[in-house]
Amino acid sequence: MNIISQLALLVTASAISLSAIAAPKQIEDVLGRKVTIESPAKRVMLGFYFEDYLAVSGERGAKDVVGLSREAWEGWRPSNWALHVKHDPSIKDIADVGEVEVQSFSIEKVLALNPDVVVLADWQYKGLGADAERLEKLGIPVVVVDYNAQTVERHVASTLVFGEITGHQARAQEIADLYKTAIEDVQKRIATAGKPKPRVYVEFGNKGPSEYSFTYGKNMWGSMIDLAQGDNIAAPFVQWWGPINPEQVLASNPQVVLIAGTESTKVPGSLLIGEGVSLEQTRATLAGFTQREGWQNLDATKGKRLYGVYQGASRSITDFAAIQYLAKAFYPELFSDIDPAGNYREFYRKYLSVTPEGTFFTGL
């Protein structure tokens, strides 16, 4: 190699090194708050949306995470956690700071980690209240992201925020554009067809057929039903998420029923679906819901339009595939060329370097 080539390599290496040096930068989070962070951040405390962060940050993104709310990942999605730990064993060594929802989140543990930035879901930030303000008063920037709202705007904004935090702005924009394009395609097809919206009921099947669990109004699956142009029967009765009177479900007579579930086996009879779950297991537990009192008379049951959907494929940038599946369930003739499960796996392969195996969407 001649001296000119050596100098060129040296200049290139120096440029790469300089680009990786963190520098103060003001960004805007999803609440419109102006927050000054070090970008790219090298000590990140991550409260939620673990896979979304990793999708944007790339293969080595976990190396910069010093703390996380482990229960919200390992506890809620154990097989998904195991999938990522198998790929990158260092993930299991990341410090656990507790979880906001069960009131185990520890500000002291967060402070001990000396993070460059604390990333919280909107609901975590609001749940912490004064404790979140305490972090900021101590000079630790807190950035809020939100995929739970299930709006295109907040999904895109949250993804771009992750791009600013990790220094991977171009990758974040690419992922955000993928999401926007997928949702626009769904809505354009349906608008062009001009078909009436089917009546839809969704329930988190974590309690099994014997007991009604909560449904969704304006967020999560409720908002996803809206994006897929369904008529959510719970919307007039449930603002965000919560129970609905079983008699109201029967009276509304949904044409499509969605039961969301996970791979957790904590509750017998709950819908089993997700990483490591076979199609036979999912369909067997899903069938149990058709035996509820009065459900044999629902249009959804008579029309064989009862579907199982993976809870992990919601409140995430990956849920474009779930919205495609909902749209296909609502308007099957419009989406015969779309493979939602295949698109879900392909996103993982391309952006998360792992390939989930199991059942994520199915009907009876």
Strand-pairing partners, residue 247, are: none
Whether 155 and 294 map to the same domain: the answer is no
> Within the chain, where are the H helices?
3-20, 50-57, 78-87, 107-112, 122-128, 130-137, 152-166, 169-193, 221-227, 246-252, 279-287, 299-302, 320-330, 340-347
- Is the confidence at residue 242, as pLDDT, over 70? yes
- Is the confidence at residue 281, as pLDDT, over 90? yes
Tens of pLDDT, residue by residue over 344-354, are 999 999 999 89
Q: What is the 3-state secondary structure (H, E, C) of 235-277?
A: CCCCCCEECCCHHHHHHHCCCEEEEEEECCCCCCCCCECEECC
- pLDDT, mean of residues 246-262: 95
Tens of pLDDT, residue by residue over 140-153, are 999 999 998 889 99
Q: Looking at the 3D structure of the chain, how many domains does it have?
A: 2
- Please measure the distance between the N-terminal and C-terminal CA atoms of the chain and give it in whole angstroms: 65
For residue 49, tell me if it sits in a domain: yes
Whether 160 and 201 map to the same domain: the answer is no
Do 37 and 141 form a contact (C-beta atoms < 8 A)? yes
pLDDT of residue 158: 97
Closest Cα to residue 162, out of 70, 254, 39? 39
For residue 51, tell me if it sits in a domain: yes
- CA dihedral over 163, 169, 170, 173, signed as positive or negative: positive
Report pTM: 0.88
User: Residue 40 carries which DSSP code?
Assistant: S
Instruction: Look at the block and give the residue holding tokens 């996970």.
Output: 262
Whether 103 and 208 map to the same domain: the answer is no
Choice among 10-24, 171-185, 306-320 with the minimum mean pLDDT: 10-24
- pLDDT, mean of residues 15-39: 79
Final residue of a domain: which of 124, 146, 167?
167
Whether 216 and 122 map to the same domain: the answer is no
pLDDT of residue 176: 97
From CA 87, how far away is CA 219, in angstroms rounded? Answer: 32
For residue 177, tell me if it sits in a domain: no
For residue 188, tell me if it sits in a domain: no
Burial class (CB in 10 A: 0-12, 13-18, 19+), 272: buried
Whether 207 and 356 map to the same domain: the answer is yes
Do 328 and 249 form a contact (C-beta atoms < 8 A)? no
- Is the confidence at residue 4, as pLDDT, over 90? no
pLDDT of residue 23: 83
Do 243 and 302 form a contact (C-beta atoms < 8 A)? no
Q: State how far Cα 91 lies from the chain centre.
A: 19
Whether 85 and 217 map to the same domain: the answer is no
Whether 81 and 210 map to the same domain: the answer is no
DSSP H/E element including 34: strand 34-39
* DSSP annotation string for 140-199: --EEEE-STT--HHHHHHHHHHHHHHHT-HHHHHHHHHHHHHHHHHHHHHHHHHTPPPPE
Whether 200 and 294 map to the same domain: the answer is yes
Whether 224 and 154 map to the same domain: the answer is no
Tally the C-alpha atoms within 13 A of residue 4's C-alpha that lie toward its C-beta: 0
Strands 95-96 and 65-68: parallel
For residue 176, tell me if it sits in a domain: no
From CA 306, how far away is CA 235, in angstroms rounded? Answer: 19
Do 321 and 341 form a contact (C-beta atoms < 8 A)? yes
Q: What are the residues whose beta carbons fall under 8 Å from the beta carbon of 208, sequence distance 6 or more?
A: 267, 268, 269, 270, 271, 285, 288
Task: Compute how many other C-beta atoms are within 10 angstroms of the C-beta atom of residue 223.
Answer: 25
Whether 159 and 201 map to the same domain: the answer is no
pLDDT of residue 79: 86
Do 201 and 249 form a contact (C-beta atoms < 8 A)? yes
Identify the CATH number of the domain in which residue 300 sits.
3.40.50.1980
For residue 336, tell me if it sits in a domain: yes
- Is the confidence at residue 12, as pLDDT, over 50? no
> What is the rounded average pLDDT for all residues in the chain?
90
Final residue of a domain: which of 146, 167, 188?
167
Whether 123 and 207 map to the same domain: the answer is no
> Tokens in use for 184?
């626009």
- Is the confidence at residue 20, as pLDDT, over 80? no
Quick check: helix, strand or coil at residue 107? Answer: helix
For residue 189, tell me if it sits in a domain: no
> Tokens in use for 127?
């749940």
- Is the confidence at residue 8, as pLDDT, over 90? no
> Tokens in use for 263?
């791979």
For residue 1, tell me if it sits in a domain: no
Instruction: Look up the domain containing 314 and give its range.
Output: 196-363
- Is the confidence at residue 11, as pLDDT, over 50? no
- Is the confidence at residue 19, as pLDDT, over 80? no
Whether 86 and 230 map to the same domain: the answer is no
